[in-house]
Amino acid sequence: MSAGPVKRGTSETAGERFAFAVAATIVRPLMNFLMAKEWRGTERLRDLPGGGGFIACPNHCTEIDPLTVGHMLYNHGRAPHFLAKAGLFKPPVLGQIMRGTKQIPVERGGAGAGTSLEVARQVIDEGGAIIVYPEGTLTRDPALWPMKGHTGAARLALKTGAPVVPIAHWGDHEVFPRYAKRFHLFPRKKAVVLVGEPVDLSDLQDRPMDKTTLVEATDRIMDAITALLAELRGEEPPAERWDPSAHQQSLHGRDVERGSKAARQPNRQASPAEAPDDAGRSA
């Protein structure tokens, strides 16, 4: 699990390299303290076509899994760039680190959606790794299986031609359970991360980028993530993927858990940023 040299983008500045080094100095010891780790299939990151940029698509079952996935990628030579809620950029110190490492803010408006995806495209063109959570937020599935995905990751992949690398992780949710208020450190737990083969979307590249194409591509991505997670868990996934809208779950789960004002207004819909929410708004 020794760190390799981080792959540089062609336009990465000295400031960005310094910001990544500062972030790694904080995150690595923290992750090593929180849990043991096992990383599988990471050779697939080295074998990507052209060794260039790619889109990593993980499952999302705990608030800390961006750290789990980011740690794995960084330690294997790929600097991670997340599409993240714009609110995370507001705190002075965290915001400076997020901007310094070229993380990508996701706004909940139409214009912001296009901007986020354009920046993501630039990072990919420069050889970077974009992390997109296709579920858009923490899974609402009661057993923590991946739920129905949004189409942003597929849209970005079809627009750029970048490989889509499915990733599954399991065990970090025991350290910080979904919607939890505190960590559970003892007994010591282990997170396992499994990197899959790139999802084949080549036959969709020349098709019109309409809803049918995007849904088909998204289903392939979600199937790949779910298969990896089933391998880690040693269990069969549900026959049908959890669909929040079919269960009248229009709000983010944390809103409901906290009994927020929004949760008491059943007709109020969450305001998604269509493309970037699809493309990976973290919970």
CB of 154 within 8 A of CB of 221?
Answer: yes
Give the span between the Cα atoms of 91 and 98, in whole angstroms: 10
Q: In this structure, how many other beta carbons lie within 10 angstroms of the beta carbon of residue 94?
A: 12
CATH number of 14-238: 3.40.1130.10
The two three-digit tokens of residue 109, written as one number: 């408006």
Q: What DSSP state is assigned to residue 38?
A: E
Tell me the average pLDDT across 219-244: 98
Q: What are the extents of the domains in the chain?
A: 14-238
Distance CA 69, CA 30 (A): 14
Burial label for 195, CB within 10 Å (0-12, 13-18, 19+), is: buried
Nearest of 138, 95, 96, 125 to residue 281 by alpha carbon: 138
Q: Is the pLDDT of residue 131 over 80?
A: yes
pLDDT digits (tens, 9 = 90+) for 75-96: 998 999 999 888 889 999 889 9
- Whether residue 199 is predicted with pLDDT greater than 70 in this model: the reply is yes
Q: Rounded to two decimals, what is the model's pTM?
A: 0.86
pLDDT value at residue 10: 45
DSSP string for residues in 198-215: PP--GGGTTS--SHHHHH
